[in-house]
Structures are given as structure tokens and as C-alpha cells.
């Protein structure tokens, strides 16, 4: 098998991450598009000893599981790569992927509960990031990245994941940017001004914030644009300009200027209110996040007299929810702004038995272990909600040294959950059960709530 070979293959499954899996002469072939049961013609793009990668050229015979994709951008956009697979089958695939990851990566065989499907399969996202890019004639193009690229953007006609208001804001901004000659940032040449448009329309509170991220404030008609965007709906409560002159291709601002409103919006989750700023993390599917957090609370099995330690607590969402059910909750977070927001959220909700510690989890746990910090808690329960990379092995070890009776792990990556689950197992913790959740229909992403129990002794 060589690069550029043309192959005819039958798709057997979908891999964790969303690529189709086929086999050709004993070698696994990962294909950028395809659903189980498809017969495809593909071009080989990469060859390794045990696998190859290929690009779809032609759908020769569609699978009975294939459904018409409603999005006009499905062939260009890399976001909803499972859109051509029926939603019930998407859920079955994701549930199976969780069990396989736990077995094959971690050697773990816990009870995997049925995956909890999303109540809404479209218009569920409360936050979307859109990118600017110079067009062929230098005009600003605002939309989403083409599949598999970082430097190509197509103009957005519509998107079925966010609210209709979010799409209207993108269209209005696209028109305004062209009319006023905004200079789009080029990620290869690192020149230009406007970089990203972030729209956060919170589902449960119906509050919307619009964040323009640029290298400078040299943007024509900026205040007029803010007023026009705010005029689209009373839901628009905040419009900001975030400055990010770095070369990093992330929609995060280093400095923020409020153009309209107070700069923040508020979401309501399980009876609590959470203030959300431009850079703050909040689960992007509010309705399903309530189900996820409810499952985490149920997995904790609290009596009410426990001390809960919440690592990677962000703006305190889980910390405050656990504080309502426990004697005390302590959140640890490395981002100073997030810690300040968490403390404000505690005051907003009148929760006095939660406190927050600023610092990287690995360092804070080490200092607590060596008694370098006098305020070290003695947790009965540890909650972890790490990024996709999962936990550092030292964090796993430090958590085990604290000897909590139970660990609740909220995961956005089954592969790193499996790896960390193996590490916990070596330190005396048994992975008892995992419940998967689909927060992101039509995408390959999977969330899980996992419960670990410490062996007696």
C-alpha cells in the first residue's frame, strides 16, 4: 500500500475521534468520512506499519444507517462529522467506544451504564467560536474552519448547532466587516486585525454575549457594530472587544474592553446562578450539563457531613453544587480570573461553605502533602474534571495519598479516563461504574461520569 493508492473498502465501525474504520488486506484504514456499512472508494494519504489513513473520494454504496445530512456545509466543515449517521446509532457507537476504551487502554471492566442521549440534537450549543480569514480579494471572511485545516475558513451560510440568534449575529457581523473594510487576520502570515467572533447564547437564562477578538482596536465602526449586534435581540446583554496579539490560534483575550452592557452574562444550572465572562469555561450544552452534574452528585453518594475537594474547578460550577450537599467544598483552579469568578458565584448564591484555592493542582497537592500549606483539607470525596489531556500521573498519586473514600471523575475523553483509571487502580481504587453522556450530538465528543471506590484497608 502506498500514498495515493485508490482503494475500495467497506466501513466496519467508527473510531474514537470520529474517523471511519475499514480494513484492506489486513491493514486498518482510517477514513475522514463514512458510516458503518458504507462501501467507499478512497485515496490513501498516509501509510504506517499497522494502519493507513485515507480520504473519501466516492460513496459507492450507502449504508442503511446513513441519513441525509441537513447541514449545507457537511462536506467542508469538520465539526459535525457524524451527521450522516442516524442519531440512535450515534449513541450506540459512543456507548460502545467508552467500553472499548476502558478495556483496551486501561484494562478496566466496570459497569458501563447506557449512554444518556441529548434531549435536543440541534441548536443545543450555548457557545460557538467563528474565525475570520482574508478572502481571495482581501475581503474578510467569517465562518468555520474547513475540515482538517487551521488556515482555511469558509463563509457561514447557517449552522445547526447554536441558536438562530447566534447565526444572525454572525451574518450581521460578516456584512458589517465587509462594508467597513475590516482586516482579517492571516494565521500563516500573522498579519491583520480581526481574528474571532465568539457568541455565547445561554439556553436556560436566554442571555447572550458577543465577543470580538482582535490583535488591536484599529477596527472601523466598532461602536456602531456593537449597537447593531445588540439591536438584533433583547437577549444580547454584553458586547466586548478582546485583544490577543499573540500568534496562538485560540479564541482567548489577554485584555478586554466592554463595548456594551456589563461584559458578563448569567446562566442558571440546577437552581444556582453562574456569572460567565468571555474566557470562562461553561459546559456548552446547558440542558445536558444539568443531567451530567446530577449524575456526578448521585455518584458521590453524599450524606451531608463530608468534605469535598474539587480539582480543576473553573468558575466553581461543581464546587458550589457539591457544597449544597456536603459540609464543606474546596475548589482548586490555576486561572486567577476563574478563581475570582468562582468566589463571586459563591457570594451570588449565598453559599458560605465553599472556598477556592488558586494554583495548579499538581503543585497545590504537593504542598498539602508536605504540609507547606496549613489549610490542607482532609477530603472524604475528590472530584476531578480535567481537560482532554486528563490527569498528570503525579496528580493521581497525590489524590490517592489523601485517601478519600471515593473519587468522582467527570471526563471529556474516554481514552484519558481509561489511562487514569488504570493508574488509580494501581493505587488501590476500583472503577465501579461509568455513565456516558452525549452533550455534543453529531460530533465525536463524549462526556462521562465515573465512580472510583477505595479498597478497604
Which of these is catalytic: 71, 80, 412, 448? 412
Is residue 79 included in any domain, yes or no? no
Same domain? For 113 and 260 the reply is no
Instruction: Tell which of 243, 269, 295 closes a domain.
Output: 269
On whether both 3 and 59 belong to a single domain, the answer is yes
Instruction: Please compute Rg for the chain using Cα positions.
Output: 23
Task: Among 242, 269, 296, identify where a domain stops.
Answer: 269
| Pairing of β 6-14 and β 39-47 | antiparallel
Claim to verify: residue 131 and residue 177 sit in the same structural domain: yes
Q: Is residue 54 part of a domain?
A: yes
Per 3-state DSSP, what percentage of the chain is helix, strand, and coil (rounded to 5)?
A: 25, 35, 40
Share of the chain above pLDDT 70, in %: 100
Q: Which residues belong to the annotated binding site for S-adenosyl-L-methionine?
A: 283, 312, 333, 385
CATH code (residue 233): 2.40.50.1070
Backbone angles phi, psi at 87, to 5 degrees: -60, -45
**Torsions phi, psi for 286 (to 5 deg):** -65, -45
d(CA 357, CA 279): 19
Do 135 and 251 belong together in one domain? yes
Do 112 and 136 belong together in one domain?
Answer: no
Range in 117-121, 225-229, 370-374, 395-399 the model is least confident about: 370-374
Do residue 113 and residue 196 come from a single domain?
Answer: no
- Number of domains composing the chain: 3
Pick the range with the lowest mean pLDDT from 251-255, 337-341, 442-446: 251-255
Domain with 318, as residue range(s), is 92-119+281-454
Q: Domain of 7: which CATH number?
A: 2.40.50.140
Same domain, 183 and 59: no
Residues 6+ apart with CB under 8 A from 238: 208, 209, 210, 258, 260, 261, 262, 263, 264, 265
Summarised one tens digit per residue, pLDDT across range 236-263 is 999 999 999 998 888 888 899 999 998 9
14 and 47 assigned to the same domain: yes
Q: Do residues 40 and 58 lie in contact, with contact meaning Cβ atoms separated by under 8 Å?
A: yes
Res. 374: pLDDT tops 90: no
The predicted pLDDT at position 147 comes to: 85
| Annotation marks residue 159 as catalytic | no
Mean pLDDT value across residues 421-438: 98
257 & 294 share domain:
no
Taking alpha carbons only, the member of 238, 180, 188, 240 closest to residue 214 is 240
Residue 362 lies in a domain: yes
Q: Can you give the pLDDT at residue 79?
A: 85
What is the Cα–Cα distance from 200 to 9, expressed in whole angstroms?
41
Query: What is the predicted pLDDT for the residue at 457?
Result: 58
Task: Single out the residue in 269, 296, 318 at which a domain terminates.
Answer: 269
Return the pLDDT at 249: 86
pLDDT of residue 230: 97
Average pLDDT in the chain: 95
- The answer to whether residue 85 is domain-embedded is no
Q: How confident is the model at residue 375 (pLDDT cuts 50, 70, 90)?
A: confident
3-state secondary structure of 150: coil
Residue 81, domain member (yes or no): no
pLDDT band at 56 (very low <50, low <70, confident <90, very high): very high
Q: Are 114 and 132 found together in one domain? A: no
**Residue 105: is its pLDDT beyond 80?**
yes
Same domain, 375 and 297: yes
Note the pLDDT of residue 370. 79
Residues 265-302: tens digit of each pLDDT = 999 999 999 999 988 889 999 999 999 999 999 999 99
Residue 24 in any domain: the answer is yes
Annotated binding site: 283, 312, 333, 385
Average pLDDT rounded to a whole number, residues 419-437: 98
Task: Report the pLDDT averaged over residues 202-219.
Answer: 96
Cβ of 413: how many Cβ atoms within 10 Å?
Answer: 21
Judge residue 9's burial from the number of C-beta atoms within 10 Å of its C-beta, 0-12 exposed, 13-18 middle, 19 or more buried: buried
Would 400 be classed as within a structural domain?
yes
Same domain flag for 136 and 114: no
| 84 found inside a domain | no
Regarding predicted confidence, which is higher, 229 or 279?
229
Q: Is the pLDDT of residue 456 over 90?
A: no
Q: Per residue in 167-205, pLDDT tens?
A: 999 999 999 999 999 999 999 999 999 999 999 999 999
Amino acid at each position: 500500500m502506498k500514498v495515493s493508492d485508490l482503494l475500495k473498502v467497506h466501513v466496519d465501525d467508527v473510531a474514537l475521534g470520529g474517523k471511519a474504520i475499514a480494513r484492506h488486506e489486513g491493514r486498518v484504514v482510517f477514513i475522514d468520512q463514512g458510516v458503518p456499512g458504507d462501501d467507499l472508494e478512497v485515496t490513501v494519504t498516509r501509510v504506517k506499519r499497522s494502519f493507513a489513513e485515507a480520504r473519501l473520494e466516492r460513496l459507492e454504496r450507502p449504508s442503511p444507517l446513513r441519513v441525509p445530512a441537513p447541514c449545507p456545509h457537511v462536506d467542508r466543515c469538520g465539526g459535525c462529522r457524524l451527521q450522516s449517521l442516524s442519531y440512535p446509532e450515534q449513541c450506540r457507537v459512543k456507548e460502545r467506544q467508552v467500553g472499548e476504551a476502558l478495556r483496551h487502554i486501561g484494562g478496566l471492566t466496570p459497569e458501563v451504564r447506557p449512554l444518556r442521549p441529548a434531549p435536543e440534537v440541534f441548536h443545543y450549543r450555548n457557545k460557538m467560536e467563528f474565525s475570520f480569514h482574508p478572502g481571495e480579494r482581501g475581503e474578510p471572511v467569517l465562518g468555520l474552519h474547513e475540515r482538517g485545516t487551521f488556515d482555511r475558513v469558509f463563509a457561514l451560510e447557517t449552522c445547526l448547532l447554536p441558536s438562530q440568534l447566534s447565526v444572525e449575529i454572525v451574518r450581521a457581523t460578516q456584512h458589517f466587516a465587509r462594508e467597513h473594510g475590516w482586516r482579517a487576520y492571516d494565521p500563516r502570515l500573522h498579519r491583520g486585525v480581526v481574528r474571532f467572533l465568539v457568541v455565547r447564547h445561554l439556553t436556560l437564562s436566554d442571555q447572550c454575549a458577543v465577543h470580538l477578538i482582535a490583535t488591536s482596536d484599529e477596527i472601523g465602526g466598532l461602536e456602531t457594530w456593537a449597537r447593531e449586534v445588540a439591536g438584533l435581540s433583547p437577549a444580547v446583554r454584553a458586547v466586548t472587544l478582546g485583544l490577543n496579539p499573540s500568534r496562538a490560534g485560540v479564541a482567548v483575550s489577554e485584555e478586554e474592553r466592554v463595548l456594551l452592557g456589563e461584559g458578563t452574562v448569567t446562566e442558571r444550572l440546577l437552581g444556582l446562578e453562574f456569572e460567565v465572562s468571555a474566557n470562562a469555561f461553561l459546559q456548552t450544552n446547558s440542558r445536558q450539563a444539568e443531567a451530567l452534574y446530577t449524575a456526578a452528585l448521585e455518584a458521590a453518594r453524599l450524606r451531608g457531613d463530608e468534605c469535598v475537594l474539587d480539582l480543576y474547578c473553573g468558575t466553581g460550577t461543581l464546587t458550589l453544587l457539591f457544597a449544597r450537599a456536603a459540609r464543606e467544598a474546596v475548589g482548586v483552579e490555576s486561572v486567577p480570573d476563574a478563581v475570582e469568578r468562582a468566589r463571586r458565584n459563591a457570594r451570588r448564591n449565598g453559599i458560605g461553605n465553599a472556598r477556592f484555592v488558586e494554583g495548579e493542582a499538581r503543585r497545590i497537592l504537593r504542598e498539602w502533602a508536605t504540609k507547606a500549606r496549613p489549610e490542607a483539607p482532609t477530603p472524604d470525596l475528590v472530584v476531578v474534571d480535567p481537560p482532554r489531556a486528563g490527569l498528570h500521573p503525579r496528580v493521581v498519586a497525590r489524590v490517592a495519598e489523601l485517601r478519600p473514600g471515593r473519587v468522582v471523575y467527570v471526563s471529556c475523553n474516554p481514552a484519558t479516563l481509561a489511562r487514569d483509571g488504570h493508574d488509580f487502580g494501581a493505587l488501590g481504587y476500583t472503577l465501579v461504574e461509568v455513565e456516558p453522556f452525549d452533550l455534543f450530538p453529531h460530533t465525536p465528543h463524549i462526556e462521562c461520569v465515573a465512580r472510583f471506590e477505595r479498597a478497604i484497608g
